[in-house]
Each structure stands twice: as C-alpha cells, then as structure tokens.
C-alpha cells in the first residue's frame, strides 16, 4: 500500500554541492527502483542546529517528499544511516494528516455554503419590572 512520507535529513555543513546532488539523486533513484515516486525535493539550505550534533553547530537541511511502501522507507533510512555525511534524519508519514486536513476543509466549505440560521425574534430575555 502506497503512503506519503516526508523524509527530512541534515548533512554536514562542509559537504560540497556536487556530493549533495549525488546523494539526493541516489535517494531518488532508490525510490523509483523500489516502485515509489518522489513528489518533491526541497533544499532548505544551511541552518543553525538547536544543539550540537557530532560536533556540528550548522547543517544543510533537505526535505524529500516520497510516495511508496514501508519497505521503501526502511531501505532509505538504512542508506541514510550508513551514509557518513548525514548527521540526522527523520521520516514522518503525512497521508493520514493530509486526509484529516481535507476532511476539515470540506466541512468548512459546507458551512460557508449553508445559509445562516434565522435569529429568533421576540425575546426570551424580556426585562422584568417590579
């Protein structure tokens, strides 16, 4: 069953651009050979880390959005684990979140199209005089 995943990984800040391109193309080819599809690759650039990781204070962030099976993600994580320039990585399944957001969006659109309820006139809050 194909699901949608976001794979965020951080590489060393001193990694050359050519090697980063090679790493990303290797991951993309792994996704395609495993029967998945790469939806998006976003290079977020060099950013400060919240805490030192392997003595690095900065890192180059890359966000890869892919669609595929759990086995595909397991293989991608295995490759990232053994790739030396990769400092950290995190994979999140986003298809359930996307379904939830679509459902909320439909509910909001239905509320906009529905006419507003008529206001009651005559008042249950009449003033009492003594």
Cα 32 to Cα 39, 42, 67, 71: the distances in Å are 11, 18, 10, 13
| DSSP classification of residue 86 | E
Tens of pLDDT, residue by residue over 4-48, are 999 999 999 999 999 999 999 999 999 999 999 999 999 999 999
Q: Which domains does the chain have, with CATH numbers?
A: 1-36+44-56+67-96 (3.30.70.60)
- If one compares 7 and 1, the residue with the highest pLDDT of the two is 7
Which pLDDT score, from 0 to 100, does residue 17 have? Answer: 96
Q: Under a CB-based contact definition with an 8 Å cutoff, are residues 60 and 46 in contact?
A: yes
Highest mean pLDDT among 9-18, 90-99, 103-112, 116-125: 9-18
């Amino acid at each position: 069953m194909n699901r949608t995943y976001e794979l965020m990984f951080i590489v060393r800040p001193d990694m050359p651009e050519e090697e980063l391109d090679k790493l990303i193309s290797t991951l993309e080819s792994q996704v395609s050979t495993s029967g998945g599809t790469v939806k998006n690759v976003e290079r977020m650039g060099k950013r400060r880390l919240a805490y030192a990781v392997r003595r690095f204070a900065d890192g180059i962030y890359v966000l890869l959005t892919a669609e595929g099976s759990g086995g595909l993600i397991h293989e991608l994580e295995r490759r990232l684990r053994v790739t030396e320039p990769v400092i950290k990585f995190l994979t999140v399944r986003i298809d359930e979140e996307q379904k939830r957001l679509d459902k909320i969006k439909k509910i909001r659109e239905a509320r906009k199209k529905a006419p507003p309820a008529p206001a009651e006139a005559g008042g249950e809050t009449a003033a009492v005089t003594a």
